[in-house]
Structure 1
């Protein structure tokens, strides 16, 4: 299969490498000049648990995608949420009438963005538990294992989605065909909607947040808002299940010592966050449905205020 990875950072590097190793024709697309230069010069270095590989993969900036490039069978979307629309605007030359998009972004609201560029029948949504990191430009550290859940957005897309499932299975990416991927996306967004913003504002890791006497009250309020808005979209989030899933992350032996991605983006690297696609999306959707979401609204405003103070870019 001819596959483009749109957003070839840490996770894009992992998925691209694993698909490449099993004979797929993979191209990488990214905006980081140093990353592009390093891969063109030295190849993409992947450090797995038990091995190290170097793959000579073609990589382009979105602006370098031109009409002479052939269309691809599949685009795996792994940009930051706020970069998604501009990315797909720039890479339209490789999007054909039969090109599918597999969206693995965190957050909510990406369906509306992607539908501007491909028919809904050509959209696959998913979530992943794989992790990845970058040791530097062109150098991915890929430890641990994970899985990928996927489901076609429209019934007519199921046949191709099952082809993608087989390709990902051959690449040992542990895919699962879901009967309700939208629930999984909302569940993950709800977990992120508590831990990401609160750890960022409070300047703490997950275990430190969990130790606070006010932690339970805050997560209950945010979960209630996510659940109310999800119900309006015919997605049922069980309050107790969500709170248990969030509190399970507090353990220092598992995820507790981890600083969420939003913290890393904003506090460590002064980068703008994806808050508008997590709590901000619930706030917007709540307004449309007539549902009050004061915690999500205030947390969205706090993060944007912090972005301004830190001059995030």
Structure 2
């Protein structure tokens, strides 16, 4: 099968490299110039696993404006706030027969993809897979090979032959895909997970394992999960997990699968980038407002993250001023 990964960041590289290792033809399209130029310069991307065995993996990477490939399927891995612009830059090479697959964090991306792809060609999912981008063209896969799980579903909730072929290739690449026929419930399960782990670990600058070891972690998680499920139930969403199963997932991933991992939201905050909190906790708040339900804990956390972002921007400005003064 031929794939084109749009967004050669941490997760895009992990999916693309492992699908390439499994025997598929894979191209990458990316708009971050330092990343693309570094890959061109060194002939690929440096890949490590748990900070060890760093080695160069040859990859084909292009800017959107230069790409002329014709894949069976595009895999989208970008930040929510980056997707609309990247889709515009890529629109010239999209074709009606091609599929779009994504496991992006948060909510809002599916509506954007549907502006370019037919509903029956859109497949979306969630990935409990930990990966870190150390810098341009340098990625670290966290966890042993085969670590992590994922769920996916067709937008139409009607799997076709291509969907089953995609699942087979993802399974060969050891992503352990679970195909469901519950589109919104599948995507919201990860939103709820991230609304707990990503946000709290970011606010308190700790790994997932450090959070899970806190004696009050379950109580904090339950409060956020219950509030999120109250929102989803009011919107008629049938969740794929029970509330207890969602808590069990938070604990398993945090304590067993990836205890040393800092979530992607923390990585964004630490590197002075905007976070996706509006597409995670903020999304749940807005969904609740549609039904006159006040998801007040999620609203409070959303505000907290935005305040922390302001603090990080002030810190960045101070660092930049010090650098200028030192010249």
The two structures share one fold, judged by TM-score above 0.5: yes
- Taking only aligned residues, the RMSD between alpha carbons, in angstroms, comes to 2.8
CA contact (8 A) 1:4 1:72 kept: yes
Q: Is the CA contact 1:72–1:95 (under 8 Å) kept in the aligned structure 2? A: no
Residue 244 (structure 2) pairs with residue 240 (structure 1):
yes
Match of 1:188 in 2: 190
Aligned 8 A contact 1:43 1:138 in 2: no
Deviation at 1:216? Answer: 4.1
Q: What is the DSSP-based 3-state SS (H/G/I as helix, E as strand, rest coil) of the residue aligned with 1:235?
A: coil
Displacement of 1:150 after TM fit? 2.4
Cα distance change of structure 1 residues 203 and 22 upon mapping to structure 2, 3 Å threshold: closer
- Which stretch shifts more, 199-208 or 10-19? 199-208
Partner of 1:82: 81
Measured in 1, the distance between the counterparts of 2:252 and 2:162 equals 36
- Equivalent residue runs for 1:87-166 within 5 Å: 87-142=86-141, 143-144=143-144, 145-146=146-147, 147-155=149-157, 158-166=160-168
Q: Extract unaligned runs of 5+ from structure 2.
A: 317-327
In the alignment, does 2:58 pair up with 1:59? no
**Local SS of the residue matching 2:81:** helix
What SS does the aligned partner of 2:125 have?
strand
Equivalent positions of 1:1-313 (< 5 A) are: 1-44=1-44, 45-47=46-48, 54-62=56-64, 64-65=65-66, 69-142=68-141, 143-144=143-144, 145-146=146-147, 147-155=149-157, 158-180=160-182, 182-210=184-212, 212=214, 214-231=216-233, 232-236=235-239, 237-249=241-253, 251=255, 254-266=257-269, 268-311=270-313
Whether the aligned pair in 2 keeps the contact of 1:149 and 1:175 (CA below 8 Å) is: yes
Which segments of 5 or more consecutive residues in structure 1 lack a partner in the other structure? none
Shift of 1:53: 5.7
Contact 1:149/1:181 (<8 A) preserved: no
Closer, same or farther: CA 27–302 of 1 in aligned 2, 3 Å: same
1:311 partner SS: helix
Q: Distance in 2 between matches of 1:109 and 1:217?
A: 29
- The alpha carbon displacement at 1:52 in A equals 6.5
SS at match of 2:225: helix
Quote how far apart the aligned CAs of 1:8 are. Answer: 0.9
